[in-house]
Structure 1
Amino acid sequence: MQYFIDVILPIPIENLFTYSITQAESDFIKPGMRVAVPFGKSKVYTAIVKQIHNTPPVIYEAKQIHQILDETPIVTTIQLKLWEWMASYYLCTVGDVMRAALPNAFVLESETLISKNSNITINDTDLKDDEFLIYEALHHQSSLRLQDIVSIVDKKQVFPIIKRLLEKEAIVVQEEVFEKYKPKLVKYVKLQSKHTTQAGLQHLLEELSRAPKQRDVVMHLFQLSAQTKKGIKVTDLVEQSGTSTAVVNALVDKEILELYHIQTDRVEFQGEVIADSKQLNEKQAEALSQIKTHFTNTDVVLLHGVTASGKTEVYVKLIEQIIAQGKQVLYLLPEIALTTQLVNRLQDYFGEQVAIFHSKYTAQERVEVWNNVLNNSSKARIVLGARSSIFLPFQNLGLIIVDEEHEQSFKQFDPAPRYHARDTAVVLAKLHTSKVLLGSATPSLETYFNAKQHKYGWVEITKRYNNVLMPDIELVDIKDKHKRKLMKGHFSDRLIEAMADTFEVGSQVILFQNRRGFSPIVECNTCGHSPQCPNCDVSLTYHSYRRQLRCHYCGYNMAMLVKCQACGDTDLDTKGFGTEQVEEEVKVLFPNVKVGRMDLDTTRGKYGYEKIITAFEQQEIDVLVGTQMLTKGLDFRNVALVGIMNADNLLNFPDFRAHERSFQLLSQVSGRAGRTDKQGKVLIQTYNPYHNILQQVSTNNYAAMFKEQMDDRYNFKYPPIYRLIKITLRHKDFNRVNTASNWLGTALRQVFGDYVLGPEDPLVSRIRNQFHKQILIKIPPKQSLGSTKKAIVKINNSFMNIKDFRSVRLICNVDTY
């Protein structure tokens, strides 16, 4: 009987591939294990086993696998089901999902190795100079990597040379698979057993009487061993004895000390569990009770609590009950900045049971978290992380908390799978038969609509913790201020006065401007020309700290211009403003205060967020200027004033969600003010203080915003009433993408009629030298989502069969946000 496995490859192909295995391998291999398999002419890929069977493939002959990479499965059967659902729902391949789900260190890559052909003798005179250099190097080394060859011949293009050597049969090429993950080993030291008796130790110290440093190390090792039952690290021994590793190594060589290694995690909890969780107040206790009641009837509950109402403490009480049952908890956050602040709070209660998982962690650290979750380790009872945490291999998941569930950061835009972590969390919980708690002060319309329809449970906290008043929100008309010459730069006299009052009482200020950089446009005052990105249809943003013009889409940058590129005049001016400019102006207005900035430019490092947040918490910074990173649930106790520099660029964005997002963003950033005892103050600078959304924010009237926006969504057929699928076409040839999008638009209209919008140019129609076109498909409430997607896939397949369109990139974004 023949044995076969179907595997998932980490590449965007629709079908699973079948490989042959032996009977012994079939007894050992289980679904979820990794195997190295040949694919194409010479590539070797890491694949995940989906199933084992006895049916040979019909169209091709099954190749044999190279090797089995695991002893036990690293992916669970529930994960494989989730991957299938994601591929089907988000119109991508299971390979796309696998690539996103597995830490890079698990996806082994093959590397091309060149070695000498020992069966053929080559005459040196038959080789050209660069060929001879490589052939000569292979006399001294058994094999060379491509990178080695680049160094030897000092050329970047080495494939022509390798091709010529292959034609002369001088070399052979092979692929070798390399393991990327290396466990961290810590070096420990102990006395050899013959010296551990009292007589042995006495004799040893007499022997070392002429080597005082070595004797000192042995004495310190003896003292440390008496103080602890744990092993002694070499680093601790060196530090305590005040010597060097050379002295320890000398004692190892003399066979007095013995070295050994212990595998350890790269991220470990060093502190202590210092407190029980706080007692809940009456409103929180009532909310907790209602959540538990709802969980008996429904799997998903929305906790709608105003900013600073103490939602986190309610989460903590729920987490305590779930882990007491021996189950795991997933705590999803939209932003790494939030993770940084929450980690300390949760570790105070739960210690080493908290594991963190997000993109700032190295591949090695992520593998360790993955393994701890897979093995249901006590080090990963609670996983705190960004959206990618939903891919972890949970064994016994009891609860998923999605904090700040309205945030668009939960949606993945590129690359595929373009999933929404909140919606995927609901499906993951269903697979685990566990519960989901969605928390927000400003829920998304979709979630609130589901709660109103009784699809989700709904619990509300309307008062802040300790009954602190909601912040006093004041709208400042900067149009009027400009007329009356009461503006200093981008600061109104009212904002300057409020900041001065805040500093006087020793409180802190947050200033919000949703643009990074110094200025979004540099313009010539003579001819009006502004520098554009050569790769994208956007103007370059000026960054003063680097004296650079940068593109925020492709990363292109150039030095700040001295004169206009068009007319040569030196009279250049900046238009608009970003966080850098706000920071500079604060320093001029208040030279004695310390200013910090929190945006993408200042938080690039692994601990970028942590440094800024800690400095602000410890009041080393008086004013924190930032982008929307500041809005997402951060808890700063000493902030009395929040200034929103310009609310209009949020409101006037051409997107059907612009007003909803503006309300959420402005309410959230306002919620950072006055979180302890005194009422906070919020100043919103705007040219249009009578705008409905600003009036609703100033009165904290979520219900009015929801009603008004839902009326628009009903009228114009947008989510949550209708579902949306956006298809984007990309190509470097403008005419080709135009022709292709027109064909696709016509084909879709034949099936879906007037529910197809486009093709249209998006806001930025060229990015990285590729032209974009967009088509929007609206799906009515009673139309089957599954059959709609099947029709789209069928049309897409027909599209790809047209020779001229094959090179056009087609991207489907389901539930586009």
Structure 2
Amino acid sequence: KLIGEVLELGKQVLYLVPEIALTTQLIQRLQRYFGNRIAVFHSRYSFNERVEVWNNTLADKPSAQLILGARSAVFLPFNDLGLIIVDEEHEPSYKQFDPAPRYHARDAAIVLANLHHAKVLLGSATPAIESFYNAKQDKYGLVTLNRRYQDLLLPEIELADLKESYRKKRMTGHFTERLFLLMQEALAEKEQVILFQNRRGYAPVVTCKACGVAPQCVNCDVSLTYHKSGNELRCHYCGYHIPLMETCNACGSPALDTKGLGTEQVEAELTAFFPEAKVARMDLDTTRGKYGYQRILDSFKAREIDILVGTQMLSKGLDFDNVSLVGVMNADNMLNFPDFRAHERSFQLLTQVAGRAGRSGKRGRVIIQTYNPFHKILQQVTTNDYMEMYKEQLDERYAHNYPPISRLVRITLKHKDFLKVSTSADWLYRSLYNSFGSMVLGPSSPAVSRIRNQHIKTLLIKLPKDKPLKHSKLIIQKIRNSFQSIPDFRAVRFNVDVDCY
């Protein structure tokens, strides 16, 4: 209705979605209402197709009145923009990290709307803490929808204890007794199942049982992931891959074992346990190509697929009316991630995944498998208590001075020589400390400290929200100029990312 009102005024509308897969479902719905006034813009389209949308937007043509796109659509040359909708505004995929420009599409959309004197609608069932904080500070208006569409009941969420299930030997593969039983029931009722596992590949690590060595990437500081489909070990950072060896490269033992769980392995287990069911996988490996997403989503919608296994792209607003059960294979990986937003992101992701169940008449069920069923975040997910999560996380942000209480600037240094990047990081820390004091954290190595043969060091600066950013920018720029004037550091890559989360 809001889109229709703006289009009637002869203005353009930008509709941003976090995942290309969502454009597939949305375009069909929007075309029913707005016909051929819609243009789609994202990276899976060819260069010529994107140029055509660019030119049509610039010329304000009737075929480009409503632009549906991923984050890059925010840079289209709008003539008369009246409304921007940012769907699932909490999604991390709106943030562009590398390469530059480093920006957040949600924040860029707000700036763009300001330039055009347009309205912005941020939509989310689990808003980003900074967005909800802004609404509570009366910077944004807040509209709350307390009921599900068509008054549907929220799904019933249960936590399944992996520790107890393994101890009592009540596991079937990687499935707890409860999840396995509910999958059998759903399939017997001709209902569909979605399973979420946020790791692609078959297993994250292959180890030797004799000496414990795991094959590592030659370019990155990370172990190689086993992909059974190509019988190879692959690096998810640089693309390096080798065939799976028959014996250990270190000691020659043939006793190789896989550790951990990926989407391929879940798919293989399901095919073995439910030979009658049609199982499909939706991750980066199966959705390559322009119509990769569409093929899988269309098949699932047509009920040609009984069980769909996937990574986080499954969580982002997809709508299927026959899904009665959603299973989360392991919730602990997200909760234990070394990031100040790990708990917030876990709550958002699990709540969004759970929301795929029961989107028609029957109430859906969600089983979350975990080693720690008493974790506060998991308890909040089961009761759908966003406000409690928000208050707890905000208290922690106040205590440790993290956004939205402060602004974060991350400086990343990269070089192929470890000693050079370490020396330059120490020099940079001393220079920043002289200006910002204890608000500088680091230098530290990220979880993956070498990618494509570039060693990485990061420093964080916490800047107070109440002081203008301009002064801090000038100081950082001055220090950067001094850094790059030192002959030894000239080859070190120096990247600045403001609001780096």
- For the aligned pair, the TM-score class normalised by the smaller chain equals over 0.9
Quick one: which amino acid aligns to residue 35 of structure 2?
G
Give the % identical residues.
Answer: 62
C-alpha RMSD over aligned residues? 0.5
Q: Give the superposition deviation at 1:504.
A: 1.2
CA deviations 1:26-80 (Å, max 9, x no partner) are xxxxxxxxxxxxxxxxxxxxxxxxxxxxxxxxxxxxxxxxxxxxxxxxxxxxxxx
Equivalent residue number for residue 139 of structure 2: 455
* Counterpart Cα distance in 2 of 1:465 and 1:603: 29
* Counterpart Cα distance in 2 of 1:606 and 1:548: 25
* Counterpart Cα distance in 2 of 1:697 and 1:541: 30
Quick one: which amino acid aligns to residue 363 of structure 2?
Q
* Counterpart Cα distance in 1 of 2:347 and 2:111: 28
Equivalent residue number for residue 13 of structure 2: 329
* Counterpart Cα distance in 2 of 1:734 and 1:503: 54
Structure with more relative contact order (C-alpha pairs < 8 Å, separation 6 or more): 2
Equivalent residue number for residue 363 of structure 1: 47
* Counterpart Cα distance in 1 of 2:236 and 2:161: 30
The runs of at least 4 consecutive aligned structure 1 residues that moved more than 6 Å come to: none
* Counterpart Cα distance in 2 of 1:760 and 1:500: 48
Structural mapping, 1:27-38, within 5 Å: none
Quick one: which amino acid aligns to residue 741 of structure 1?
A
What is the SS of the residue equivalent to 2:77? coil
Task: Select the residue among 558, 563, 566 that pairs with 2:247.
Answer: 563
Task: Select the residue among 612, 616, 624 that pairs with 2:296.
Answer: 612
* Counterpart Cα distance in 2 of 1:769 and 1:503: 48
Task: Select the residue among 463, 471, 476 that pairs with 1:779.
Answer: 463
* 1:712 has 2:389 as partner: no
What is the SS of the residue equivalent to 1:461? coil
Unpaired segments ≥5 residues, structure 1: 1-316
* Counterpart Cα distance in 1 of 2:183 and 2:7: 45
* 1:403 has 2:403 as partner: no
Q: Give the superposition deviation at 1:575.
A: 0.2
* Counterpart Cα distance in 2 of 1:576 and 1:774: 28
* 1:672 has 2:364 as partner: no
* Counterpart Cα distance in 1 of 2:473 and 2:88: 30
- Please report the TM-score for the alignment, with normalisation by the length of structure 2: 1.00
CA deviations 1:287-327 (Å, max 9, x no partner) are xxxxxxxxxxxxxxxxxxxxxxxxxxxxxx10010001100
Equivalent residue number for residue 745 of structure 1: 429
Equivalent residue number for residue 306 of structure 1: none
Equivalent residue number for residue 187 of structure 2: 503
Structural mapping, 1:362-761, within 5 Å: 362-761=46-445
Quick one: which amino acid aligns to residue 565 of structure 1?
N
Structural mapping, 1:144-163, within 5 Å: none
Q: Give the superposition deviation at 1:781.
A: 2.3
Q: Give the superposition deviation at 1:782.
A: 2.1
Quick one: which amino acid aligns to residue 377 of structure 2?
I
What is the SS of the residue equivalent to 2:35? helix
What is the SS of the residue equivalent to 2:379? helix
Equivalent residue number for residue 475 of structure 2: 791
CA deviations 1:553-605 (Å, max 9, x no partner) are 00000001100011100000000010000000001111100001000000111
CA deviations 1:121-180 (Å, max 9, x no partner) are xxxxxxxxxxxxxxxxxxxxxxxxxxxxxxxxxxxxxxxxxxxxxxxxxxxxxxxxxxxx
* Counterpart Cα distance in 2 of 1:775 and 1:535: 23
Q: Give the superposition deviation at 1:488.
A: 1.4
* Counterpart Cα distance in 2 of 1:613 and 1:787: 49
Q: Which one has a bigger Cα radius of gyration?
A: 1
* Counterpart Cα distance in 2 of 1:780 and 1:754: 12
* Counterpart Cα distance in 2 of 1:454 and 1:618: 44
What is the SS of the residue equivalent to 1:360? coil
Residue-pair matches, total? 501
* Counterpart Cα distance in 2 of 1:783 and 1:325: 39
* Counterpart Cα distance in 2 of 1:465 and 1:344: 19
Equivalent residue number for residue 25 of structure 2: 341
What is the SS of the residue equivalent to 1:796? helix
Quick one: which amino acid aligns to residue 154 of structure 2?
M
Equivalent residue number for residue 35 of structure 2: 351
What is the SS of the residue equivalent to 2:250? coil
Q: Give the superposition deviation at 1:780.
A: 1.4
CA deviations 1:635-684 (Å, max 9, x no partner) are 01110000000000010101100000000000000000001111100000
Quick one: which amino acid aligns to residue 470 of structure 2?
G
* Counterpart Cα distance in 2 of 1:654 and 1:561: 32
Quick one: which amino acid aligns to residue 467 of structure 1?
D
